[in-house]
Every structure is written in C-alpha cells, then in structure tokens.
Amino acid sequence: MKGLGALIAIAGGLVLVLLVVLKGLLAEDTHAEPMATVKPVAAPPGLREQAPGPPTIVPGTRTPRAAVAAKTAKSAPVEPAPLVVNESPADKAFAGDPDDDPPTSNDPVATKATLRTAMETVEPQVRECISRFSNGVSGTVMATWNVVSKRGQSLVEAPGIDSDGTTIENQDQLLDCLKDTAFQMNFAPNPGGMPVIATRKITIESGTLVSQEMLHFRRIH
C-alpha cells in the first residue's frame, strides 16, 4: 500500500509540472508582437500637382422636338402657289393648239350645205378606196370629220370612223382610206367661226359604191 501511494504521488507531480510548462508556452504566444501594418505611400507634392483631376461632366441641353420641327419647316423652301387664270370656254376649247383661231361668234365655220358640197367633191377618191381595198365587201361606213378655223383658214382635222352604224368590220385598209378622203375636202375661210363635226354615211354593195350621204353636223363648243 505504501508503494502504490508513492506512485500516485509521483504521477501527480509530473502532471503538475506538465501543466506549468504548458502555461508558460501559452503566455509567450499571447505576448507576441502583432504584424506590421503597411502604410500607404503618399505621392510627392510635385506629382500631386501635375496629376489631372477627374473630368467634369457638364449635362447637355436637349432641344425640344417641337422647336426642331419648327426650325426644319422654316428652312424648307416654300413653293409659290399656282397662278389661277380665268379662261373663257372658247379659250379652254382651243388651249391645246395655239394655231387654232378662237371662235368669236356662234356661227359655224361650215354649214350643212357647204359640208355636203365638200363631201361630193371627194366621191372619186371614195370610189378608188373601195376599188382597191373592199374585196367585194358589202355594208355601211359612218365616217366623221371636223372642220376648224386655223391660221385664218378652214381646215379638216381628226377624221374617224363611228362604230355606231358601221357594219363593215376587219377591213382596216378600206376604213382608213375612206376616212382619210376627208382631208381632200376644201372649205372657204371663215375666221372666228365655231368648229363643227360632221358625219357621212357610205354604203357599199359587193365592192361598189351605192351612195354617200351627208347625215348631220353640230358645233363643237
């Protein structure tokens, strides 16, 4: 029993010594100097004065859209307004050809009698057209022509074929020849007369002229 007690006393002493040593080590770590703090190095005074400062941003002014639109409209070229000229009916009727003589009265440039006489003078030309281009055809042709006062003369213009009443078809050479015979008509000068349009009926039977009739005429207003 005395030996066991001695061993316990020795073990306790060793534990006590170990605790003392550990306490000393912990005390040394607690008193260790802290890490050195790196202080920022300031730039020399000369460099600080030369270094440019931060850019200064000045907010710009925006022009309202309405002001921009008004400025654009003001700078755009202004086209002049069209000149309005009051024209008489006679001026409008003859505005397309400066050589036409504007009518000065309601009297026609040619009467029905003078139109019939002029039509009869071209009967030989009508027969020649039928002889050359009819190919034995039969039917009727309604041919029209205008008489106008131009440069002091009464002249034929715009001969044509009226489809109403014309029964001969697909005979372009014959129809063109017949209508163009109107250019061979002659009329006495009638300056200032109202232009007229006339219609004649040409009847053909088996390639032969039967008749050429003056149907009607009217003034062109």
Read off the pLDDT of each residue in 84-99 and give the average, rounded to a whole number. 42
Read off the pLDDT of each residue in 205-210 and give the average, rounded to a whole number. 95
- pLDDT tier for residue 127 given thresholds of 50, 70 and 90: very high
Higher per-residue pLDDT: 98 or 44: 98
Give pLDDT tens digits for 40-68.
445 455 444 454 555 555 554 454 555 54
Indicate the pTM of the whole model: 0.54
| Nearest-angstrom CA–CA distance, 19 and 27 | 12
Whether residue 162 is predicted with pLDDT greater than 70 in this model: the reply is yes
CA 208 from chain center: how many Å? 55
Quote the pLDDT of residue 90. Answer: 35
Quote the pLDDT of residue 21. Answer: 67
Quote the pLDDT of residue 93. Answer: 39
Instruction: Report which DSSP code applies to 152.
Output: T
Alpha-helical regions (H) of the chain: 2-30, 45-50, 65-75, 89-93, 112-121, 123-133, 172-180
- 8 A C-beta contact, residue 159 and residue 178: no
Question: Among 62-71, 116-125, 135-144, 185-194, which is the least confidently predicted range?
Answer: 62-71
Whether residue 95 is predicted with pLDDT greater than 50 in this model: the reply is no
Token code pair at residue 47: 């460099």
| Look-up of token digits 């009464």 | 154
Q: Of 67-81, 104-118, 203-217, which one has max mean pLDDT?
A: 203-217
Q: What are phi and psi of 179, to 5 degrees?
A: -65, -35
| Nearest-angstrom CA–CA distance, 141 and 203 | 7
| Nearest-angstrom CA–CA distance, 179 and 188 | 21
Higher per-residue pLDDT: 117 or 44: 117
| Nearest-angstrom CA–CA distance, 215 and 140 | 13
Whether residue 212 is predicted with pLDDT greater than 70 in this model: the reply is yes
Higher per-residue pLDDT: 206 or 65: 206
Instruction: Report which DSSP code applies to 105.
Output: S
Quote the pLDDT of residue 144. Answer: 96
Q: How many CA atoms lie within 13 A of 126 on its CB side?
A: 24
